[in-house]
Structure 1
């Protein structure tokens, strides 16, 4: 009895049109699932599992492709993911993040808070600890740089206004968007978040830098303090 692609542990035994590599060549990359694309990159699985199985497993343990691409902590020990594959995977994930950041920087101006929030979620949401970052902009609100300034613990981080001022001067920024994540996944701003925002707004105003917004990033959501009327 012939094994189906869903049960065969050897991709070479699959019908040719079902094999990821052949499918990509005949139908194009867009026709492949996330697991199949990962399988082509990984090359092979291990005894008893195909590369597609391994791709599905990685997506499952991370919670999906977006979470995998945004992952900034090491993957847990995984059968079939040896040191060489792990290094290749980390490298391509970092390339994807840098590509996203470059596209963000190339925008003439920030089109909407939703675009900014999407970028920030991709950069910050997967951290298991709190990270405070800034998007630096010129006088026409064009992105100059994105920089992570402070890292903390699972329940907080210390923000030093002096370092934020230095970063603004270093980038010659005319405006800044503040951002930090909540590792709990809940994006609701705390009283401390409001106080830090007010303090930075006052201090940066003294050097002519406008605080346009402060985004609090959760697992799948965000809050804009500007949209809340807090800036």
Structure 2
């Protein structure tokens, strides 16, 4: 059945306008983004098929170009549109914390760091550099590794902090396995970086680990004390 023949309140786009984006299912949200279906499949059927094929909305959003464009009804134009949409979302989160102290909006900071790291297939390590009022200056991914390990060099972290004239920073890295639980190496590295940066009067405010679900804050779990 053509989606135009559905009652208006059941069509994804009209439903969004009537009830808000939060009322839509993953398939309906994806259908609004896709805009139209393909021969023999309306846009909602196409969206549901993509969710089954990739395993969920997140997997669709994080699919690489080759996998995405190989699917029937998708192509480089839609892939480009999707990448632009994701980058708009990341920049929106960045703007939400840009003029606030990171300590006044820790949840917003963690949402931003999750958006920056959760799509990475291998382990990466980054820093959110902060000014004297703990407002964000810049975010950088400093190291990339294999699927479960990235080699971190404290001297490079110190160098980048000095380059940005940072007064403080928030460390972050991802766990592609999904678990946010820190390893002993994670805790040890955090302490090493904290001591190294303290020598030049730069504070480490937190170390955030991004995996599945909510990011983990080391400071909230007491792993940044001492």
Q: TM-score range by the shorter chain?
A: 0.7 to 0.9
2:166 aligned counterpart, secondary structure: coil
Q: Offset at 1:223?
A: 2.9
Matched, 1:124 2:117: yes
Residue of structure 2 in register with 1:208 after alignment: 201
User: Per-residue displacement from partner, 1:36-90 (whole Å, max 9, x unpaired)?
Assistant: 343233221212222222333444535336x656x37445432211222222112
**In 1, are the aligned partners of 2:102 and 2:109 still within 8 Å (CA)?**
no
1:15 aligns with 2:40: no
> 1:22: Cα distance to partner?
4.2
Please give the residue correspondences for 1:126-165 in structure 2 after superposition, counting only pairs within 5 Å: 126-165=119-158
Q: Secondary structure at the match of 2:30?
A: helix
Q: CA deviation at 1:109?
A: 4.0
Answer yes or no: is the 8 Å Cα contact 1:35–1:56 preserved in 2: yes
Question: Which region of structure 1 is more displaced relative to structure 2, 163-172 or 117-126?
Answer: 117-126
TM-score, reference length from structure 2:
0.83
2 CA distance for matches of 1:176 and 1:199?
14
Task: Give me the TM-score of the superposition, normalised by structure 1.
Answer: 0.82
Q: Distance in 2 between matches of 1:85 and 1:72?
A: 12
Do the aligned partners of residues 21 and 138 (structure 1) sit closer, same or farther apart at CA in structure 2, a change above 3 Å counting? same
1:5 aligns with none
**Which residue matches 1:52?**
44
**Structure 2 unaligned blocks of 5 or more:** none
Deviations 1:175-210 (A, max 9, x none): 011010111111221122122212211221122111
Other-structure match for 2:222: 229
Taking the aligned partners of 1:153 and 1:218, their CA distance within structure 2 comes to 16
What is the RMSD of the two structures over their aligned residues, measured on CA atoms?
2.5
Take 2:181 and 2:29, find their aligned partners in 1: how far apart are those partners?
36
Contact 2:90 2:112 in 1 (8 A): no
The aligned residue for residue 100 of structure 1 is 93
1:164-183 equivalence runs, <5 A:
164-183=157-176
**How far apart, CA to CA, are the structure 2 residues paired with 1:57 and 1:172?**
49
Whether the 8 Å contact between 2:96 and 2:108 is mirrored in structure 1 is no
Q: 1:32 offset after TM fit, Å?
A: 4.3
CA, structure 1 residues 224+29, in 2 after alignment: closer, same or farther (shift >3 Å)? closer
CA distance in 2, matches of 1:114, 1:127: 21
Q: In the aligned structure 1, how far is the partner of 2:111 from the partner of 2:101? A: 17
